[in-house]
Chains A and B, each alone.
Chain A
Amino acid sequence: MTNDKFGPNPWHQSNWDFRAAFNFIFGGAGAGLLAAAALAGASGMVLRAAILLGLALIGAGLISVWFEIGRPLRAMNVGFNPFTSWMTRESFAAGLVFVLGLAAAWLASQPLALAAALAALVFAYCQGRILQAAKGIPAWRVPPLIWLIFTTALAEGAGLFVALSVLFAEPARSLLAYFSLALIARVLAWSIYRGSVAKGTVRAALAILDRSGKILVQFGTLAPLALLLVCWFVPDFARIAALLSGVTALAAGWQFKFALITRAAYNQGFALPHLPVRGTR
């Protein structure tokens, strides 16, 4: 009859709410913070503080999602399917992050902090894969989302570490360079993701993504990069500029992920490639 598709309009999923979003928000930032602290070569109290805050964030995300599951007393069952489930893999990575992170904080050990950072990066990657494996949600299932989730974790963590660092001293230029690269990587990932998600996602979801993406680009990338230039060339304002830069990058990433999980997660409804042919033709 026709090649057009027929069916009811997609509607927003109602299974994952803000509690699931907090796992991606806090978990990503915590993982990124561990990575930034280890790569920046932090030591002593700064290293300990960064690691403990990173672990607290990841823990807060996991506790938040624990409040969402229907049978919280069976939470340990989450580890039963490492063969195909990225949620199981995420839980394993989280366990490793906590073991290595606590050891690194206890001993103030940089090699252990690096190992914890590596595990944290695996954790952030798993979070991207969790969303991408959700085939029922067109805005999540595109592969470029993995790298958007991963790079926003890097950018948020770097921003948080920069913001924390300026409370103690002027941030190192190598840290600012790493932060800048993370911001650029994130905006590139956003651009690729936006290109790939256009097909198959409903207009309402795209409108939400565009609104959040605009904030991600303007407040989460351009503003922090401009502030980093101030930091670089106007030493008198370096600390306040770095602080603002880190906070805006963090906030923009969080708002994006919140919108992605709780606002843009439309399903694809049902679609008939053909209508039934009844009676005479």
Chain B
Amino acid sequence: MTRWAMVADLRRCVGCQTCTASCKQANATPPDVQWRRVLDMEVGEYPAVKRVFVPVGCMHCDDPPCMHVCPSTATKKRPDGIVTIDYDLCIGCSYCAVACPYQARYKTDRASFAYGRATAQETQAFDPKRLSVATKCTFCVDRIDAGLAKGLTPGIDPEATPACVNSCITQTLSFGDVEDPNSNVSQLLAENQTFRMHEELGTGPRFYYIWDKKEESPS
């Protein structure tokens, strides 16, 4: 069984926000909505200060609290683990937004555009179905499905891979099937030490963060 997941190598991320921009372009999200965000953290005290960049968004949890609370069944989880929203069913109650521990959901009540008036690209991409309902990262599910239909491999073939992963200039982001032991993401997880955000909540997020390589065992 396929189980899509994303891996972010925190050692590589430089906080360039290209993934954010790429996501916005690919998914035509309005201003203030960032399905793929990069947190810019400064930790420690002078002189031992570190800057850490952390890509975040929908974690496509194994046990998504947003889906359980949704009263309209608009939020669903596909067999491949991708959590989706049916914009035609959603009532915009925002219950999912308060249930999500990752602040991954957005609701915009009015159409808004980057420069006030819609550009040609914004006009073309505008989807009124997305107004006043919950929206979030879809792992670019349309690209994945279209790519699979063509026999491509998500995470390997750019045409079948989420836009943020394609655009990453440092190869921080990787995407693939964690159920396949030979996949790119499975190998990254095997070779490195990782954590998942707020793992203690038991949501089973499918977004892994690499923070160090694994210690080599003495042979």
Contact = CB atoms under 8 A, between A and B. Distances in A.
Contacts of B208: none
Interface stretch (A5-13, A113-121, A163-171, A246-254): A5-13
A273 B188 CA distance: 19
A275 B133 contact: no
Nearest to B13: A276
Given A135-B99, A136-B98, A277 B212 contact: yes
Given A135-B203, A275-B211, A80 B92 contact: no
Interface residues of B, number: 49
Contact of B71 (A6, A13, A79, A137): A79
A273 B99 contact: no
Contact of A80 (B73, B97, B193): B73
B195 A270 contact: no
Contacts of B65: 133-136
A135 B10 CA distance: 26
B52 A276 contact: yes
Interface of B: 9-11, 39, 41, 43, 50, 52, 54, 56, 65, 67-74, 89-95, 97-103, 107, 109, 131-133, 193, 195, 197-198, 201, 203, 209-213
B98 A13 contact: yes
Nearest to B94: A15
A271 B197 contact: yes
Given A70-B107, A71-B92, A77-B91, A274 B211 contact: yes
8 A-B pairs with the lowest CB-CB distances in the bound complex, closest first: A70-B92, A70-B132, A276-B10, A77-B72, A15-B94, A87-B71, A277-B212, A274-B211
6 contacts: A6-B41, A69-B92, A72-B91, A74-B91, A136-B99, A276-B11
A272 interface: yes
Interface in A83-104: 84-88, 91
A143 B195 CA distance: 27
B198 A87 contact: no
Contacts of B89: 74, 77, 80
Contacts, number: 149
Interface of A: 1, 6-8, 13, 15-16, 65, 68-72, 74-75, 77-81, 84-88, 91, 130, 133-137, 140, 265, 267-268, 270-278
Contact of A69 (B52, B91, B101, B198): B91
A158 to B, nearest CB: 29
B68 A134 contact: no
A56 to B, nearest CB: 23
Contacts of B71: 77-81, 85, 87-88, 91
Contact of B93 (A13, A87, A271, A276): A87
Contacts of B109: 70
B74 to A, nearest CB: 8
A69 B211 CA distance: 40
